[in-house]
Amino acid sequence: MQTTSTQIYKNHNNQENMETTLMCFFYYLFITFCYYFANSALAIESPKYTVIQSESDFQIRLYNESSWISAPSSGTNSFEQSTKIGFHRLYQYIHGANLNSSKLAITAPILTRIPSPVSSEVGYSVRMYVSPHFQGKPPQPNPELKLQLEKWKSQCIAVRKFSGYAKDDNINKEIEALVSSLNKQIDKTSEIVHDVSSYTIAQYNASFRNTERVNEVWINVSGFRTDC
């Protein structure tokens, strides 16, 4: 349990933390934005979902339909490198590198899709949820950024949380833990299917946050309910 004074401090800072979080994902590049956002009243938006099942070690969420912007990356097999390179392109897009020169608000989480060893899909891709103001009508990215706009149908996703930094050397163990939890569910209810072609790591915090970091493993699933 936290002491009372810690708790008050935490509550007071929570809003600020959220705002600063992703804007400062690579804070050494964007340090001025960090200061700006730490003092502004804007909240970071995230895609909307409802929880349809909660277990001790994972959750099944139903995400609403949504628009995403995706940066496919090639030339590296590193999760950390792919995330850095992809995020940089997404960052340019939301800061006006699109055909309308529109500025989009940053959102959380940043997703990195990792191809699974058993899949024919190749390459990582990094995704950002399109800010609510532009949902359904995101501006076209400048072609040289090689970004793709994606429209997601509503989708059930199995989610496992983990703390600390998401790194090349710890994500596999988290992915395996979620796969193993899902396999136990599948033994109980045979209609449940999980997508084995890729896994996704969701990161919610700026890199300079070294405590209370929130990350998740996401795997698309179906068969938990009739609507997902």
Ligand X SMILES: *[C@@H]1O[C@H](CO)[C@@H](O)[C@H](O)[C@H]1NC(C)=O
Residues that bind ligand X (CB under 6 A): 14, 17-18, 21, 48, 64-65, 100, 102, 108, 113, 134-137, 139, 152-153, 155, 195, 198, 200, 204-205, 209, 211-214, 220
| Nearest residue to ligand X, scored by beta-carbon proximity | 17
Cβ 202 to ligand X shortest distance, Å: 10
Cβ 169 to ligand X shortest distance, Å: 21
- Pairing relation of β-strands 193-194 and 148-152? unpaired
Cβ 140 to ligand X shortest distance, Å: 8
Nearer to ligand X, 91 or 218 (CB): 218
Nearer to ligand X, 51 or 188 (CB): 51
Query: In the numeric block, which tokens belong to residue 74?
Result: 């090639």
Nearer to ligand X, 101 or 183 (CB): 101
Q: Which of 139, 218, 210 is nearest to 175 (CA)?
A: 218
Cβ 77 to ligand X shortest distance, Å: 18
Nearer to ligand X, 72 or 76 (CB): 72
Cβ 158 to ligand X shortest distance, Å: 11
Residues 6+ apart with CB under 8 A from 173: none
**Are the C-beta atoms of 131 and 105 separated by less than 8 Å?**
yes
Nearer to ligand X, 30 or 204 (CB): 204
Question: Where do the H-state alpha helices sit in the chain?
Answer: 4-23, 31-38, 79-94, 171-188
User: How many Å apart are CA 113 and CA 203, to the nearest integer?
Assistant: 11
**Are the C-beta atoms of 25 and 112 separated by less than 8 Å?**
no
User: How many Å apart are CA 116 and CA 202, to the nearest integer?
Assistant: 16
User: How many Å apart are CA 132 and CA 138, to the nearest integer?
Assistant: 10
Nearer to ligand X, 80 or 195 (CB): 195
Cβ 78 to ligand X shortest distance, Å: 18
